[in-house]
Structure 1
Amino acid sequence: MSESVAEKVRFSRYEDFRRWTETQPGYWILVHGEAMPSPSPSRIHQEISARLEMLLFEVVRRTGRGWVYDAPLDVKLREDTVYQPDLLVVLREHADRLRPTHIEGAPDLIIEVLSPTTAHLDLWEKRYDYAQAGVQEYWVVDPESRRVELYVREGEQFRLHASAQHSGRLRSVLLPDLEVDLETIFRDL
């Protein structure tokens, strides 16, 4: 396949998409069959992601409760929908979702750090797709407004459970040992 990046490239099967991405520069996601480039995150985005990953590592990996991964790692929600969340957690009881090349199905927890170019996707399509696939908890971190929103799954959709801006603490429902202090996450950025 030799389509230019400007042309829309569509896939109905993950394996075809994965083979195609191996010949393309950069990182790609698959949104309802359409291949989309995933832009490089900013330094501030990376700093926030790293701080959150350290917290997740302490609560999940060191206690043996599961696995923590960061982008880029494919999360295949359906054959035609593959995302690369900034951070994700797969609990031990869902180890069957771990594949050598990707996560097959819904991680238990996902954190997305918003970027100006992908904020709409994170707030709308991804949130809907994550809930439909079975993600139990979804965190959205906005570096510009210094706001964090914590969503929990109810039925097949997310409900806003808690949010804070600039300061305060948010505690995970899924992982009660996970508490995020906003002042620490956004300090010196």
Structure 2
Amino acid sequence: MPKENPPTYSEYLQMNDDIKYEVIDGYIYNMSPSPSVKHQRIGVKISTEFDNYLRKKSCDVISEIDVSLEGVTDTTKMKDWVRPDISIICDKDKMKENYIAGAPDLIVEILSKSTAKADKMIKFNRYQDAGVKEYWIVDPAHEAVDVYLLKDGHFVHDGTYTNEETVRVGIFDNLFIDLNNIFV
């Protein structure tokens, strides 16, 4: 929903903790209510795969955290933020107390009826423009993952993978995720 004067991130932090939303180009996207059980289970399973791989490495996996793609660190001036389902961050300086300041290296969005359009169009373009190196769009209904890799400033579709396939994670040399373990 559009709003003439959306709150800054600082104002958002002072609001009711039960209200979760994103602000993109002055438009408010309500993230409530919570996603479905299937959505949440898929998110946990993907996060676990990344977390197991990233132990004792320099990158971290973080679920459902606010992200200032532009890297704004003054929350009173932050006017846009997104809340990806899963983010992989390899630059620890981007991690602030309540949010990430700058583009994550990899973002995973898990589709739901209320977020599919934003995930496939609006966020797709924002993530591309911000320099996210890899973007996954997970479709729980069809048990498929579309993988996009950033090449010369544009996302290139690396492939659509189904529940019987294995995905090679583009930002890591030796990480492969068996989707049969995700869509169970």
Q: TM-score range by the shorter chain?
A: 0.7 to 0.9
Question: What's 1:3 paired with?
Answer: none
Cα distance in structure 2, aligned partners of 1:127 and 1:55: 23
Report the count of equivalent residues. 175
Would you say the 8 A contact 1:30–1:83 is kept in 2? yes
Structural mapping, 1:36-185, within 5 Å: 36-39=29-32, 40-60=34-54, 62-71=55-64, 73-78=65-70, 79-91=78-90, 94-185=91-182
Q: Name the CA distance, whole Å, in 2 between partners of 1:10 and 1:87.
A: 28
Give the counterpart of 1:23 among 7, 15, 20: 15
Secondary structure of the equivalent of 1:81? coil
Normalising to structure 2: TM-score of the pair? 0.88
List alignment gaps of at least 5 residues for structure 2: 71-77
> 1:9 deviation in Å?
5.3
Q: When the two structures are superposed, what TM-score results if normalisation uses the length of structure 1? A: 0.85
Q: Tell me, which stretches of 5 or more residues in structure 1 are unaligned?
A: 1-5
Structure with the higher helix share, 1 or 2: 1
Tell me if structure 2 keeps the 8 A contact 1:163–1:170: no
Deviations 1:150-175 (A, max 9, x none): 11001222111122123111101101
The structural deviation recorded for 1:131 is 0.9
Comparing 17-26 with 45-54, greater Cα deviation is found at 17-26
In 2, Cα distance between the equivalents of 1:10 and 1:149?
35
User: SS where residue 164 of structure 1 aligns?
Assistant: strand
| Preserved contact between residue 2 and residue 26 of structure 2 (Cα < 8 Å) | no
Percent of aligned positions that are identical = 28
Structure 1: which 4+ aligned runs deviate by more than 4 Å? none
